[in-house]
Every structure is written in C-alpha cells, then in structure tokens.
Chains A and B, each alone.
Chain A
Amino acid sequence: MKSWRAQVLVCAGAGCVSSGCAGVYNAIVEKIKEHGLSEEVRVIETGCLGSCNMGPLALVNPEGILYMKLTPADAGDIVLQHLVQGQPVERLMYKDPATGKAIAKMEDIDFFKLQQKIVLRNCGLIDPKNIDDYLERDGYKALEKVLLNMSPEEVIETLINSGLRGRGGAGFPTGLKWKFTHQAAKTPKYVVCNADEGDPGAFMDRSVIEGDPHSVLEAMAIAGYTIGANQGYVYIRAEYPLAIERLTWAIDQARERNYLGKNIFGSGFDFDINIKIGAGAFVCGEETALLASIEGKRGEPRPRPPFPAVEGLFGCPTLINNVETYANIPAIILNGADWFARFGTEKSKGTKVFALAGSIENTGLVEVPMGTPLYDLVYKIGGGLKKDKKFKAAQTGGPSGGCIPEKYINIPVDYESLAQIGAIVGSGGLIITDEDTCIVDFARFFMEFTQNESCGKCPPCRIGTKRILEILIRITQGRGKEEDLDRLRELCYNIKDTALCGLGQTAPNPVLTTLKYFEDEYLEHIRDKRCRANVCKRLTKKAGVKISN
C-alpha cells in the first residue's frame, strides 16, 4: 500500500455529519490540492471518534493531534501551518478545562486517555468505505485463522474462556449461545445480527456499523462457520440511513474480495449476508419479535422456550447476537481468550461501550473496561456536570434500566454491581441528569415510551403499563394520593413477573428505581403539590405553597 507522510482523519460519524463535517472535509481536501500535497497527505472521512460535542473533529496523524469544533475556514490554517510548516494549530486544540492550556495529542486528553478500545479499535482510524483500510488493521485475519486452523469446537471454547457476554443488554454468555446453536441438529441454520438499537440514548451499535462495518461482517462469517450456517442477516433500524448505506457498501466489497460468498479462503465454506431494514418498532429489539419481523410479519414476541438456538428464523436454529458483541469477536480470536479476560471484572469480562449524554460536559461514545467506577465515567471522562449544575441521577440501560442516585456514584459499572442496586448495564446508554430533571416526570417519560411501544400481545404489558402511566401522570398533575405509591409498586412487580417478553418484564425498572431512591420527590408531588425541578407545570417550585385543582 502507498505510504503517506501524513493522514488527516475527519470524523464523519452521524454526530459530526450533523455538525457539518462534510464542509470541513471538502475544504481540507481543497487546501491540500492548492498546496500540492495530494500525493503525500491523505484525507479520509472516518467513523465516530467519540467526542460528539467537540465536533466537527479532525485527527492529524502520525502525530495524533486532534482539532475540534472546526469550520471550513479553519482548513487553511491546518494545511498551511501544520502540514506545510510543521506547526500544529494551537487555537483549534482541546483546552484543559482546569488550566485552560491547549492539549495537542488526542491520547493526552482525559476523555480519550482513560478509555480502552477493543470494540471501537478501528472506529475513527480507518475509512469505513475502504476495505483496504480494514485489511491493513488485521481485517479478516481472524476469519482466515478460524477457517484454516480452528475447529468449530475450538472457536466455541475460545469464546467461553474469554468470558464474553451479550452486549445487547441481557448479558448471556456468548460462547454458550454459540455452543447451543452449534449443537442443534436441524438445518439450515442462520446467523442474525441485531442492529435494531432501539433504546433511546444509545448509539454504540450505530457508530460501530458506521465506523467499522467489516468487523461485524467478519464476526458473522466466523459465527456461520462455527454453528454451521451459510446465511446471515443484519436487522437494522430504518432510522439509521447512514449506517445502512455503509453496511451495504461493506457487504458489496466483502463479496468482491470473496470474504463473503463461495469457498471463502479456499476452505470450502460458503457464507453470505443480507440486510433487513426495520420499520420503527422498539419491540423488534427483542429476539423473537426481531425474527418475526425478518419473516415479514408483525414484530410480536413469542414465549421462550423454544429458544432461537433451537427454533428461530423460519423455524430453524438461529444464532442472534448484538452488533457490539460481534465487534469483539475478531479481536478475541486473534489475541486469544486470556488477553480478553484480562480486562474487566471477575464475572464481567472485557470492555463496554457507553453513550454518554445528558447534562455533562463531554458527551459522546466511550469504551471502558467493565467495572470502571461510575465516578470515572461521569467526572473524569465525562468532564463532570454542566457548569453550576448538580448531579441528580445517572440513568443506565434505557427504558429497561434504572436511575442511580449520587450515593452510588462510585459503583463499579458491570453486570452484577448494577443489578444489585436495581439498575442494568443494558445496551449502554448512560444519561446524566441534574436538578432540572423532575424524577417523577422522568419515570413518566419512560413509561410513556414503553406504553407506546408495547406491542399489545400480552395484557400485563398492554394494560399494566397504561395503568402505571395514568398514576404517574396524576402525580405530576398534583392529583396523586399517598396510596398510589404502593399501588405503583404492586403493579410493577406484577408486570415484572408476568409479562411475555423482555420489554414488558423490564418496563417497570425506571419506576421502581426512582421510587426506591427518590421517594421523597414523589411524596413532595403528592403531599406538598411541589415539583422542585419546576417541570410539572401544575405544581409549584417552592415548598409550602399549595395550589388547588
């Protein structure tokens, strides 16, 4: 491959696209031409670098210097000062919030320094539209290793030993899932990738597909070989047009180079992948509903067992994993189970990608070892709360998750620790709220979401979430009664125990955790007709003033 004196990587994740990175990219390309550098400096549009609120971003290699909040007008300085004269442009660098000093290198900025990138190993470093970039970073080497040197049993053993667990939210051991599907007798079998990232506040899967689509395709082909399938499907949300476009290109390129198709690496193994586009139904993230949707039906879940490993797509054994889970796999195959198991905690191995959003300074996508304290995510990587704001709660796991209060700010973020306090890691949405968020209204927001998205098949979810929502609305309007809180808890536990699928069973979590940790705020609404965040319009902000309805 051609070697370049320098590379300018312009972030073209969806976040930077909406901040106007295309204009910045074009301006840099134009200036490079003007200065006659087209043969020595390569400019590429790359996947998400992670720090969305600093966008549009550009990283200049080999020095690793990060420029932020760029406009097309900045292109001239970057090219002339930095690339021609060798003087990095200080005014476009990140400024340390404490000292105000410019930090030149990306790796020295706290937001990036504390991260450990396995899933996002290529995001922001390669051109996702160019398969050669992926190949240069050991792309498809794991598939080659598996097809030529490993038995399916060895792949399964590696995954089991690595301790990798499903990143979609449930945390089921991935190796076991592969083992069960491998053992199923019926054929044909299918490999499915769940890219229906429906949790509001989560965009890690979108970024992986937009920034490094081949890592998912490679892992799916490895899965196909391991379980004995020749066909894969990626089920992806219609709301992610850019991801769909890049995935389509990636599949075409992989077919051209015969990483997909017949007789891959001359091994006699055939595998192909097709895209299925969702149509806007949250419940389709649940695996049985997702399969129904691929089959062209209403996306309604069904009881398990039988699990998809035994009876899945078109009634055949099917392996379903989430995007982030797949993206780990080529790295595990190449570096070994022990390498992967070194990261994380005893029971939660590896890393997790979180989407940091809400009322914090640095929003964006971060990847940290499992077990990283919540404090580090919020304050060291996230840069703390927005100016003058006070931490109220960290909401994890989307509408299935919970609100973590300040007293647990040091909790290690892993499957077990969060489950102990009633929250979940979930798919990795992490939203920080401050005193401007009313906790009762926040619970109402999530319940309205699940109520809207309930498919209506089972009564606990269809009717139960409706009753919870009615009570919450009543409380936010100042018409709540104290006994409502017991009624809420009872409803929540009943739904948890009796709903048909994961959506229903976890729907009460936001209500239960807020009741557990913020009961005083509920009681203020009910007894004092007061909303301290001043969100509930029919209530008053100050204590002690009552209004009548």
Chain B
Amino acid sequence: MSHACMCSSPNEEELYPLVDQVIEKYRGNPKELITVLHRIQKLFDYLPRQALEKVSDGLGMSLNEIHGVASFYSFFSMVPKGRHSIKVCLGTACYVKGGQKIVEHLEKKLAVHVGGTTQDRRFSLDEVRCIGACGLAPAVLVNDDVYAKVEPDKVEEILSKYE
C-alpha cells in the first residue's frame, strides 16, 4: 500500500485565507460544525489537520470532538483523495444487477482496493450506498457524473475521460 505525501502543497497554502472566511461566519457556533466541514472539504477535497485546528479555535471545540464528528460520517475524508473520485453504487438494485462485478473490475484495473487512491493520485475508488439511480442499475459516479447501466467492458472508456 502506498502512502501519499501528507504535507500540504503550495496550492493548499493559498486556500487557508478561504478557510478563515468560512470559520469567521460561524465563529463560536459548534452547531454549524458539519456545515463548516462540508465547506472545508469542498476547498481541499479532504479535511487537512491544519484546517481542523483552525476550526477547533474558531468554533470553540476540541480537536477530539471535531474528529469524533468527522470520522462518524462517511462523506468526510481526513486523507487526500485522487483528482477524480469513482464511486460505485452498491445499493440493492445495483447489487442485484452486478455492481459488485464492476467494483472487482475497477480494483483490478486501477490496482487499488476500495477506499484507496491510485499512486498517481488520478483516481480514488469507493463504494457508495444508493445514489438513487436504481432504474438504471448498475450505476457508477465519477465526480458528479452518473454513468448508468455500466458493464465491465465500458469501464475503460469511462475512465479515459478523466485525466
């Protein structure tokens, strides 16, 4: 298993003033923690520790509490993800229609396990629980694009659209 470099890139540094702006809006209001985490993840595509430290100061709650909330929800990631996120739907309809085969095919193709990121950080692979495209199962989500009735041999064509 590869470990991507965890230190913040120069691009990330430029985002911190925006973090301050987000926090300023909700200063001292722990009830808005999930909203704040959503905004920060939108900026970085994950939740960097340095940003969470700022949240801790700004909302007036311990880093422990924040970690407890962030780790509870599958939407939040505390490690950097790939440039493109692949999410294979494994809701019931997709499962019945062969979603698991798509997962296995992608794991082989990308040489990562579910939850992992390719070494070149091009793709992250995850499973999701029902994106509500049940009538078009099996479905795969790449970033915000939904691909319907996906067959293993269509996978390559889909991936080639994302650099």
Q: A200-B92, A281-B72 are in contact. Are A449 and B134 (CB under 8 A)?
A: no
A178 → chain B, closest Cβ, in Å?
26
Which positions 164-205 of chain A face chain B at CB distance < 8 Å? 197-203
Could you tell me if A239 and B74 are in contact, using CB atoms closer than 8 angstroms?
no
Q: A202-B130, A240-B132 are in contact. Are A295 and B31 (CB under 8 A)?
A: yes
The residue of chain A having its C-beta at the shortest distance from the C-beta of B100 within the complex is: A445
Interface assignment of A363: CB less than 8 Å from any CB of chain B: yes
Which positions 222-245 of chain A face chain B at CB distance < 8 Å? 238-241
Chain A contacts for B46, CB-based, 8 A:
none
The residue of chain B having its C-beta at the shortest distance from the C-beta of A453 within the complex is: B129
Could you tell me if B148 and A18 are in contact, using CB atoms closer than 8 angstroms?
yes
Could you tell me if B134 and A363 are in contact, using CB atoms closer than 8 angstroms?
yes
A301 → chain B, closest Cβ, in Å?
13
B23 → chain A, closest Cβ, in Å?
14
- Chain B binder among A134-142, A339-347, A351-359, A471-479: A351-359
Partner of A280, one of B74, B90, B93: B74
A240 to B130, CA, bound (A): 10
A358 to B132, CA, bound (A): 13
Interface assignment of A507: CB less than 8 Å from any CB of chain B: no
B82 → chain A, closest Cβ, in Å?
18
- Chain A binder among B1-9, B10-18, B135-143: B135-143
- Chain A binder among B32-40, B117-125, B154-162: B32-40
B127 → chain A, closest Cβ, in Å?
9
Q: A296-B32, A298-B69, A299-B72 are in contact. Are A15 and B96 (CB under 8 A)?
A: no
A445 to B132, CA, bound (A): 18
A297 to B34, CA, bound (A): 8
The residue of chain A having its C-beta at the shortest distance from the C-beta of B90 within the complex is: A200
Could you tell me if A357 and B137 are in contact, using CB atoms closer than 8 angstroms?
yes
Could you tell me if A398 and B35 are in contact, using CB atoms closer than 8 angstroms?
no
Chain A contacts for B91, CB-based, 8 A:
200-201
Could you tell me if A356 and B38 are in contact, using CB atoms closer than 8 angstroms?
no
Could you tell me if A363 and B30 are in contact, using CB atoms closer than 8 angstroms?
no
Partner of B132, one of A19, A239, A437: A239
Could you tell me if B135 and A201 are in contact, using CB atoms closer than 8 angstroms?
no
The residue of chain A having its C-beta at the shortest distance from the C-beta of B59 within the complex is: A296
Could you tell me if A281 and B74 are in contact, using CB atoms closer than 8 angstroms?
yes
Partner of B34, one of A18, A51, A293, A357: A293
The residue of chain A having its C-beta at the shortest distance from the C-beta of B61 within the complex is: A296
Partner of B76, one of A14, A279, A299: A279
Q: A200-B92, A282-B129, A299-B72 are in contact. Are A19 and B136 (CB under 8 A)?
A: yes
Contacts A299-B72, A314-B31 aside, 8 further interface pairs with beta carbons under 8 A come to: A197-B132, A201-B134, A203-B134, A279-B38, A281-B74, A298-B72, A299-B73, A449-B129
Q: Which residues of A contact B (CB under 8 A)?
A: 14-15, 17-19, 51-53, 55, 197-203, 206-207, 238-241, 276-282, 293, 295-300, 314, 355-359, 363-365, 395, 398, 429, 431, 433, 437, 445-446, 449, 453, 455
Q: List 11 A-B contacts (CB under 8 A).
A: A14-B132, A18-B133, A18-B145, A241-B144, A277-B38, A280-B76, A281-B72, A299-B72, A357-B134, A363-B135, A431-B134
5 A-B pairs with least C-beta separation: A52-B135, A200-B91, A203-B132, A279-B73, A18-B146
